[in-house]
Structure 1
Amino acid sequence: MVCPFDRAQALELRQREQAIKAQLACKWPTGPSRTHCEDCDNEIPAARQALGGMTRCVPCQSIFEREVRR
């Protein structure tokens, strides 16, 4: 008989591997970042620009992501 703890551990491992695969499959922006947000035209901080491919400031990106999820 299989121990319930072993089954739970195997399930958790499968779920973790699926989550990692899903995250790796996401397309991340590449290329040069914009200096100003495409939505509000505020300056994008240099630390955020250094990530590459950024087109929005953090507040506008948060709003954008919330709208996309709906």
Structure 2
Amino acid sequence: MPKFQVIIYWSEGDQAFISEARQLPGCQADGKTREEALENLKVVIQEWMETATEIGRPIPGSGPD
């Protein structure tokens, strides 16, 4: 699996930690802790990649540069 830069930050509005894989549009998750937000993001990344593969969308970082 390709590696992606992950950003985790606290959202006052959501009262949760938000994690994002910015190279993957729309790929975000939340959690009560940083660890939970990261674990939830791992699931979302896997689902994002499966969907991208099904519809023929390239996955950043998975091919030759």
More helix by percentage: 1
Question: Normalized against structure 2, the TM-score is what?
Answer: 0.36
More strand by percentage: 2
